[in-house]
């Protein structure tokens, strides 16, 4: 049985001086209602697939967790399927009561059916992921739908995402207005494209990095998913069925992306009665083996061995898999490998046929956040097929939780397939060899100070943070757990600076080589906000490495923290602290996690190289290089390593300290080379980084 080890240290001085996110004005809010309106959209069709009309509220029975519910809202949405006449032959008649104003989605009161007998479609253009050619195809598809396929029942809203989410047009049936809005979407307006991966398909682009509001937004996939989550939450007050057509050029995910954001986005869509209909704007892709004329060719042997083509195909499939997950888990459908992109909108249109809106105030007033199952039946003995959502997550009120409730909430959240992302987390997993079949795996987590609420107690401001995590192997068997809590107390300027800094938490596990899944959850105990990080990682068997020089993970950092002055230390056991190679002389090297640095900082680089058969340190030479595309922007002086061999693990530490002032702001590939001349072996490690002014 593997056991979790290592001290847990919380440091508030980890901030890298990044631009703080906008500060929201705080106020006092009073909630007097203890009931919640639950809406269920029910499609009732006969054997031929035609909608069954004429049913009454008394014909339906709704059960929540097996208990009958009294219907307070009952509406039938009769949607016409006939397409509008061509633009030249029709009269422009804006729908009465529809607010065409841009910038927001008009909300509805509880129980109000704002769009009677209307089909709600949202056209969402992800400008951040689409190159210019794909943007033009997506725009053309939207215009084709508006001109030839839009029906009288359709009301359409338009949203875009480049660097932030924008509501360009609220729901309206005014086709002329929608056409003008879509035509005005700036083709060529792009946000931050996916970063360099360093794989076999990497080309020399030389693109510079554009500064964003926060280093936590560097994770582009999370930003796109968070934008989709915000979009569906805007639609939550509308009880009607909604379809969001998401135009994008795939969605890349890597092993360090937080899986929780994807699941939270899907869950928010389910709660809001929104189905995703992703459209891959690239259409049917026939990729050239070494890339087309839109990018530079990759270098090295990969372009001749077929490795570049295999990697290219794998990347394409992974990008489409994310789109398919968004669709299938919310009841939508993805349009992939099809050049007629307007079919994606038509699929969303056809999926929403005439249906009944049932609304009830739940008899279960507990704000416990638990999943509640819904069952709908028809009193009449009709041969009908019912389609509706099977349940929802109730609201939760944290302040009323007892200590046992809070502990149960943590345990349930850890096991929950749909994690919570109210608290922003970014994490990094590394590995260092301790023995033949034993590796120390440190886990570093960052939490932005803007997410932390402090309560004044005495002369200080404080809060308590709870942490719970679990590591499972490839068979799903737990191999390590962690459960900690710490109290943060700040005074004066330290409390005022928290919003501009980050909190760092780290823990660790002892594991054997293999594939694992880490799920980690943090909760702030003033407001009850929680956040989840989930990722898969692999520990290689470095003992079996014969061809290359075996090395550990490479840690990049801009911060050293004195353990004696840290805000809180959960574990005081110095023996366990000694197991962490990132702790030297009571100084803790804090991993950057997001790998975002500033020009005025020092970059610390740490790794271990292993010399299995050595009795004393064999001299090695190491250096660090920075590449922008294929151009080498900087290279350190070669560092000779002549001492430090650990007799037990056969590890030799390699340390660099590099000033970043000579580099221009932008996106780079950091490369570390280590050469062992005597063993005639070498190791190369690469990772994208971002340098801000």
The tens digit of pLDDT for each residue in 245-295 reads 999 988 876 554 557 678 778 888 888 889 999 999 888 876 666 666 666
Q: Let me know: does 692 contact 596? Beta carbons within 8 Å.
A: yes
Alpha helices in 145-237 (DSSP H): 175-184, 220-234
Place of tokens 């105990």: 525
Region 3-29: mean pLDDT is: 35
Report yes or no on whether pTM surpasses 0.75: no
How do strand 583-584 and strand 530-539 relate by DSSP bridges? unpaired
What does the alpha-carbon distance between residue 93 and residue 90 come to, in Å, rounded to a whole number?
A: 9
What does the alpha-carbon distance between residue 41 and residue 76 come to, in Å, rounded to a whole number?
A: 10
Place of tokens 């007799």: 647
Q: Residues 282, 257, 566, CA angle at the centre, nearest 5°?
A: 150
pLDDT band at residue 98, thresholds of 50, 70 and 90?
very low
**DSSP designation for 272:** T
What does the alpha-carbon distance between residue 532 and residue 142 come to, in Å, rounded to a whole number?
A: 36
Chain centroid offset of residue 446 CA: 15
What CATH code is assigned to 1-33+402-546+568-578?
2.60.40.10
Q: What is the pLDDT of residues 427-475, one digit of tens each?
A: 899 999 998 889 999 999 888 888 888 877 766 788 889 999 999 999 8
Q: Let me know: does 488 contact 463? Beta carbons within 8 Å.
A: yes
Q: Which listed CATH number (3.40.630.10, 3.40.605.10, 3.90.1170.50, 2.60.40.770) goes with 595-693?
A: 2.60.40.770
Q: Which two tokens stand for residue 425?
A: 């987390």
- The upper half-sphere exposure of residue 511, i.e. CA atoms within 13 Å in the direction of its Cβ, equals 30
Per-residue pLDDT at 420 exceeds 90: no
- Residue 154's DSSP bridge partners are 119
Q: Which two tokens stand for residue 605?
A: 């680089």
Burial track 114-141 (b if 16+ CB lie within 10 A, e otherwise) = bbeebbbbbbbbbbbbbbeebbebbbeb
Per-residue pLDDT at 621 exceeds 70: yes
SS3 state of residue 260: helix
Max distance between CA atoms of the chain, in angstroms, equals: 89
What does the alpha-carbon distance between residue 580 and residue 563 come to, in Å, rounded to a whole number?
A: 13
How do strand 681-692 and strand 666-676 relate by DSSP bridges? antiparallel
Region 179-191: mean pLDDT is: 80
Beta strand ranges found along 454-512 (DSSP E): 455-457, 460-473, 478-490, 502-511
What does the alpha-carbon distance between residue 145 and residue 243 come to, in Å, rounded to a whole number?
A: 15
Domain ranges of the chain: 1-33+402-546+568-578, 79-353, 595-693
Q: Residues 325, 330, 336, CA angle at the centre, nearest 5°?
A: 45
- Identify the burial level of 429 via C-beta atoms within 10 angstroms of its C-beta, where 0-12 means exposed, 13-18 middle and 19 or more buried: buried
Collect all residues with Cβ–Cβ distance below 8 Å to 85 and sequence separation of at least 6. Answer: none
Q: Let me know: does 290 contact 306? Beta carbons within 8 Å.
A: no
Give percent of the chain with pLDDT exceeding 90: 32
Collect all residues with Cβ–Cβ distance below 8 Å to 534 and sequence separation of at least 6. Answer: 258, 259, 260, 419, 517, 518, 519, 520
What is the chain's mean pLDDT, rounded? Answer: 80
Q: How far apart are the first and last CA of the chain?
A: 47
| Closest CA relative to residue 209, chosen from 657, 636, 553, 599 | 599
Collect all residues with Cβ–Cβ distance below 8 Å to 219 and sequence separation of at least 6. Answer: 257, 258, 426, 594
| Closest CA relative to residue 243, chosen from 60, 45, 83, 41 | 41
Region 173-181: mean pLDDT is: 92
Q: Establish whether domains 1-33+402-546+568-578 and 595-693 are of one fold.
A: yes
How do strand 502-511 and strand 438-448 relate by DSSP bridges? antiparallel
Place of tokens 């502990």: 407
Q: What is the pLDDT of residues 109-160, one digit of tens each?
A: 877 888 988 999 999 999 888 888 899 999 999 999 999 889 989 999 999 9
Q: Let me know: does 454 contact 462? Beta carbons within 8 Å.
A: yes
Place of tokens 């399927």: 81
Domain spanning 79-353: which CATH class is it, in words?
alpha beta
- Least confident stretch, 141-155, 195-209, 408-422, 505-519: 195-209
- Identify the burial level of 188 via C-beta atoms within 10 angstroms of its C-beta, where 0-12 means exposed, 13-18 middle and 19 or more buried: exposed
Q: Let me know: does 172 contact 94? Beta carbons within 8 Å.
A: yes
């Amino acid at each position: 049985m593997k056991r979790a080890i290592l001290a847990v240290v919380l440091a508030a001085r980890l901030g890298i001086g990044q631009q703080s996110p906008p500060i929201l004005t705080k106020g006092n809010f009073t909630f007097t209602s203890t009931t919640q309106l639950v809406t269920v959209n029910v499609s009732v069709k006969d054997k031929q697939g035609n909608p069954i009309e004429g049913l009454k509220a008394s014909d339906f029975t709704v059960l929540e967790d097996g208990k009958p519910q009294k219907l307070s809202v009952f509406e039938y949405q009769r949607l016409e399927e006939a397409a509008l006449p061509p633009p030249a032959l029709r009269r422009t008649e804006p729908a009465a009561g529809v607010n065409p104003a841009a910038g927001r989605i008009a909300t509805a009161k509880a129980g109000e059916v704002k769009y009677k007998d209307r089909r709600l479609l949202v056209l969402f253009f992800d400008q951040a992921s689409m190159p210019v050619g794909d943007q033009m195809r997506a725009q053309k598809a939207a215009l084709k739908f508006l001109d030839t396929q839009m029906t009288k029942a359709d009301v359409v809203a338009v949203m875009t995402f480049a660097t932030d989410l924008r509501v360009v047009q609220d729901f309206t049936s005014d086709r002329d207005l929608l056409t003008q809005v879509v035509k005005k979407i700036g083709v060529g307006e792009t946000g931050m494209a996916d970063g360099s991966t360093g794989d076999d398909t990497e080309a020399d682009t030389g693109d510079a990095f554009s500064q964003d509001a926060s280093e936590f937004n560097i994770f582009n996939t999370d930003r796109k998913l968070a934008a989709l989550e915000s979009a569906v939450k805007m639609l939550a007050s509308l009880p009607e069925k909604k379809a969001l057509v998401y135009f994008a050029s795939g969605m890349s995910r890597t092993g360090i992306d937080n899986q929780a954001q994807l699941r939270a986005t899907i869950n928010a869509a389910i709660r809001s009665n929104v189905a995703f209909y992703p459209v891959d704007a690239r259409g049917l892709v026939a990729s050239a083996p070494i890339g087309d004329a839109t990018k530079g060719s990759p270098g090295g042997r990969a372009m001749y061995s077929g490795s570049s083509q295999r990697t290219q195909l794998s990347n394409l499939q992974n990008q489409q898999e994310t789109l398919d997950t968004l669709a299938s888990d919310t009841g939508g459908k993805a349009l992939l490998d099809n050049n007629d992109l307007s079919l994606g909108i038509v699929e969303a249109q056809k999926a929403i046929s005439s249906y009944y809106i049932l609304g009830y105030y739940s008899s279960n007033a507990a704000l416990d956040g638990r999943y509640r199952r819904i069952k709908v039946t028809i009193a009449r003995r009709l041969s009908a097929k019912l389609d509706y959502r099977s349940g929802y997550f109730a609201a939760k009120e944290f302040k009323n939780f007892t200590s046992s409730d809070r502990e149960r909430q943590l345990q349930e959240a850890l096991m929950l397939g749909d994690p919570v992302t109210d608290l922003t987390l970014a994490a990094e997993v590394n590995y260092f060899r301790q023995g033949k079949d034993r590796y120390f795996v440190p886990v570093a987590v960052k939490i932005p100070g803007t997410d932390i609420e402090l309560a004044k107690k005495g002369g200080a401001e404080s809060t308590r943070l709870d942490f719970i995590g679990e590591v499972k192997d490839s068979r799903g068997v737990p191999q390590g757990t962690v459960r900690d809590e710490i109290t943060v107390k700040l005074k004066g300027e330290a409390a005022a600076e928290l919003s501009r800094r980050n909190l760092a938490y780290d823990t660790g596990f002892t594991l054997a080589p293999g594939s694992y899944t880490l799920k980690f959850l943090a909760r702030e105990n003033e407001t009850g906000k929680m956040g989840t990080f989930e990722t898969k990682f692999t520990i290689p068997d470095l003992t079996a490495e014969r061809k290359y020089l075996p090395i550990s993970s490479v840690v990049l950092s801009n911060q050293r923290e004195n353990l004696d002055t840290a805000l809180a230390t959960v574990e005081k056991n110095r023996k366990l602290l000694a197991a962490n190679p990132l702790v030297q002389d009571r100084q803790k090297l804090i991993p950057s996690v997001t790998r975002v640095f500033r020009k005025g900082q020092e970059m610390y680089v740490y790794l271990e190289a292993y010399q299995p058969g050595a009795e004393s340190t064999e001299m090695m030479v190491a250096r660090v290089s920075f590449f922008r595309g294929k151009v080498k922007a900087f290279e350190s002086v070669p560092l000779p390593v002549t001492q430090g061999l650990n007799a037990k693990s056969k590890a030799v530490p390699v340390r660099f300290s590099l000033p970043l002032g000579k580099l221009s702001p932008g996106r780079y590939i950091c490369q570390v080379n280590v050469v062992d001349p005597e063993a005639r072996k070498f190791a190369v490690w690469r990772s994208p980084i971002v340098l801000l002014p």
